[in-house]
């Protein structure tokens, strides 16, 4: 099966995109991670569509599945506790191996303000593949005309130094990716350059990017202007209400 998960990263774009996937595909919760690496939180069902299904408790790290597409999704809902990045990554990767997961796709984001001059032009979307996955799907990425995440100089300003992978604001992305490379895990990272703010549009862009490759939903051709606009096919979960505060007090006016 394919494991799809977010990194807790700038703008929470990965997590928002995962919310869209779970909500649109109406995935079933099959389990959760009992972990001390994430800040605890609990609430009622964030994907509730009616009174009847709104009462299921939901916590910070839950696993959903869609057997028809051999898809398993992990959603992470709270920040990492200090010093717990590595333990979480290790536990996650050992679960990936023991559960015979075929490949992992990580949705993430990186600070837009850290882009260099070249990165400011063109698409803000990037991908990364571990060597094991490169062999399998590297060709497909070329067909899709996707851009690989550039490596940067280890010491900016000084030329001819080693180039390293740098994902500022990416949370566990770099750690998980480098660990997967060395453990022979097939992992792809899909990320978008963005800033904090209203990241809902960023989430849509990222999830459409994912869809170009995995084809999780069909992008219908719109008859009016003959272009494909898959954004309308994604279902926004009910928990996205009131992301920016409550209603205004009438006394204000």
Residues that bind another protein (CB under 8 A): 7-12, 36, 39-46, 48, 54-57, 59-60, 78-86, 109, 111, 113, 166, 168-171, 174-175, 178, 195-196, 238-243, 245-251
Judged by beta carbon, residue 78 or residue 233, the one nearer another protein is 78
Judged by beta carbon, residue 100 or residue 241, the one nearer another protein is 241
CB within 8 A of 23, min separation 6: which ones?
A: 47, 234, 235, 236, 237
Q: How far is the CB of 205 from another protein (least distance, A)?
A: 18
168 by Cβ neighbours in 10 Å (0-12 / 13-18 / 19+) ranks as middle
Structural tokens at position 143: 């067909």
- As beta bridge partners, residue 106 has 5, 189
In which residue are the tokens 């069902």 written? 45
CB within 8 A of 221, min separation 6: which ones?
A: 227, 228
Q: How far is the CB of 179 from another protein (least distance, A)?
A: 10
- As beta bridge partners, residue 190 has 107, 127
Judged by beta carbon, residue 82 or residue 100, the one nearer another protein is 82
Question: From CA 138, how far away is CA 188, in angstroms rounded?
Answer: 10
Judged by beta carbon, residue 219 or residue 238, the one nearer another protein is 238
| Beta carbons of 152 and 116 less than 8 angstroms apart | yes
Judged by beta carbon, residue 137 or residue 175, the one nearer another protein is 175
For 43-65, b/e burial (b = at least 16 CB within 10 A) is eebbbbeeeeeeeeebbbbbbbb
Q: How far is the CB of 133 from another protein (least distance, A)?
A: 21
Q: How far is the CB of 238 from another protein (least distance, A)?
A: 6
Judged by beta carbon, residue 54 or residue 215, the one nearer another protein is 54
Q: How far is the CB of 172 from another protein (least distance, A)?
A: 8
Q: How far is the CB of 246 from another protein (least distance, A)?
A: 5
């Amino acid at each position: 099966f394919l494991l799809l998960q977010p990194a807790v990263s700038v703008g929470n774009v990965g997590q928002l995109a995962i919310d869209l996937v779970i909500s649109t595909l109406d995935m079933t919760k099959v389990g959760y991670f009992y972990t001390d690496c994430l800040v605890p939180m609990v609430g009622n069902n964030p994907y509730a569509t009616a009174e009847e299904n709104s009462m299921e408790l939901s916590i910070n790290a839950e696993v959903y599945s869609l057997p028809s597409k051999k898809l398993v999704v992990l959603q992470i809902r709270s920040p990492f506790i200090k010093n717990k990045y590595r333990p979480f990554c290790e536990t996650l990767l050992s679960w990936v191996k023991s559960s015979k997961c075929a490949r992992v796709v990580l949705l993430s984001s990186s600070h837009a303000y850290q882009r260099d001059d070249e990165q400011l032009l063109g698409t803000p979307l990037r991908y990364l593949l571990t060597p094991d996955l490169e062999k399998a799907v590297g060709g497909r990425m070329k067909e899709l005309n996707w851009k690989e995440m550039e490596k940067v100089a280890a010491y900016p300003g000084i030329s001819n130094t080693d180039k390293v992978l740098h994902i500022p604001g990416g949370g566990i992305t770099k750690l998980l990716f480098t660990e997967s490379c060395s453990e022979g895990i097939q992992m792809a990272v899909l990320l978008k350059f963005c800033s904090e703010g209203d990241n809902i549009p960023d989430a849509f862009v990222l999830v459409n990017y994912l869809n170009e490759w995995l084809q999780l939903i069909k992008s219908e051709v719109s008859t009016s202007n003959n272009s494909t606009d898959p954004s309308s096919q994604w279902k926004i979960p009910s928990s996205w209400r009131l992301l920016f505060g409550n209603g205004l007090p009438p006394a204000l006016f």
